[in-house]
Chain A
Amino acid sequence: MTMRYVDEFRDPAPIAGVAAEIRRTVDPARQYRIMEVCGGHTHAIYRFGLRDLLPDNVELVHGPGCPVCVLPTGRVDDGLAIAAEPDVVLTCFGDMMRVPGTKGTPLELKARGADIRMVYSPLDALKLAQENPDRRVCFFAIGFETTAPSTALTLLRARDLGVRNFSVFSNHVTIVPAIRAILDSPDMRLDGFIGPGHVSTITGCRPYEFIARHYGKPVAVAGFEPLDLLEGILMVLRQIRDGEAQVENQYRRIVPWDGNPAALRALATVFELRPYFEWRGLGFISQSALKLKAAFAEWDAEVAFAVPGVRVTDPRAAQCGEVLKGVLKPPQCKLFGKECNPEHPVGALMVSSEGACAAYYRYAAHAAETVTA
């Protein structure tokens, strides 16, 4: 057993202890497939080489919890169409700048003259609008429940301050409908879930109860350290061994069972669920994304601008969808490490450090030859 990255991190003894307990808990005669929902977990799993600490029959399947990865190309194009409108300044987070649309990434369009600027906070976009009253500043909002409350508070602030030249192009998505879609997908065979860490600080653990109750699958919400993740995996494996299915909270020190009430109130004030939304790889999922309520129509980019809303299929050779669903491992994609690499990402999973392909490329590419198709 190698402890490639773990040694440098902290006292390895407890980690070895949990790893040994995992080996005692599994039935060597069967396979286990556990999905880590969150892209931050995917990054940590590769970074710390955690697969090396798990028995061969325990497979970690990477989930959809990476905001830029699940954003379909059509929505990128829509955002870039807004940027092409007169007087517009399009703002977005750094990750988003490198996500390819049909005509290029936001960064490439910026180089060709579009006014597209990176911001670190939606409040920075709002400030830009206040400072440039003759421009129309649009924030290209992405992210799960971790990020959506910040957009909500920014919109409340825009309303309170009466900033009329500010708008939000909302691409916020919610994690639970995506998990349900994965559970309902005929080609997914999963035995349990590692629930997301920082998303759950907002949502709490209750939204995951249906996974245990209706699908009979264990869930453990876990933190990002190697010990956290291994303990979460052990919680799931113990439930499987004991024939149980419930939601456990390994990350109690950060995640309250009922979430963050102020953030949930802000979300409910500003957003409502869209009837459906397209996710890369997962297709259209009902009630899986957030749009601005009618009371905030004045700040809704989809009202203010003529957004094309055209569905765009990914380049045929790129297999982002299959990787996102966990059907393929990153190196099994034909483009992985060749046309598609972190310097020139063809697919969004190679862009963000939370994307399975970028994480795999950065930390585990040397192991690619041992992965069998």
Chain B
Amino acid sequence: MCLAIPGQVVALMPEQPLLAKVDVGGVRRNVNIGLLEDGEVTVGDWVLIHVGFALSRVSETEARDQLRMLRAMGEDALAIEEVRGYTFAAEAAERR
């Protein structure tokens, strides 16, 4: 459960500054960005996600490596299931 999930920031929400919409393997959910410094993250950036929070900003290369590693460890489906399961900002999340 300590393996972080990489996602790409697709939208920031000025009215909800603690949230960012991320895309993880095609699943889009809002995550909390309160553990990043103010202004650290912008649309297009990649972040590592853990239990609903962005832990750190990473390069695209690193994010793709991490995703491939989750796949190799058989944890990618679980990771996407986790992100899909975040309900705390569901009303604001994009429907797929």
Could you tell me which A residues sit within 8 Å of B by CB distance? Answer: 5, 8-10, 38-40, 43-44, 47-48, 65, 67-68, 93, 95, 119-124, 126-127, 143-144, 146-147, 149-150, 153, 196, 198-199, 201-202, 224-225, 253-254, 260-263, 266, 352-354
Contact = CB atoms under 8 A, between A and B. Distances in A.
A39 B2 contact: yes
Interface of B: 1-4, 32, 34-37, 48, 50-53, 55-56, 58-59, 62, 65, 68-69, 72-75, 82-83, 85-89
Nearest to B89: A123
Contact of B55 (A9, A48, A201, A224): A201
A8 B74 CA distance: 13
A91 to B, nearest CB: 11
Contact of A47 (B37, B50, B72): B72
B55 A122 contact: no
B86 A225 contact: no
Given A198-B55, A199-B2, A266-B34, A127 B87 contact: yes
A260 B35 contact: yes
A119 B51 CA distance: 9
Nearest to A255: B56
25 contacts: A10-B68, A43-B3, A44-B69, A47-B72, A120-B86, A121-B52, A121-B88, A122-B52, A123-B32, A123-B88, A124-B88, A127-B88, A146-B50, A150-B32, A153-B32, A196-B2, A198-B4, A201-B48, A201-B56, A224-B69, A254-B48, A260-B56, A262-B37, A266-B34, A353-B73
B87 A198 contact: no
B88 A126 contact: yes
Given A120-B86, A201-B56, A262-B34, A225 B65 contact: yes
A141 to B, nearest CB: 10
A120 B83 CA distance: 8
A306 to B, nearest CB: 28
B65 to A, nearest CB: 7
Contacts of B50: 146-147, 150, 198
Nearest to B30: A123
A121 B53 contact: yes
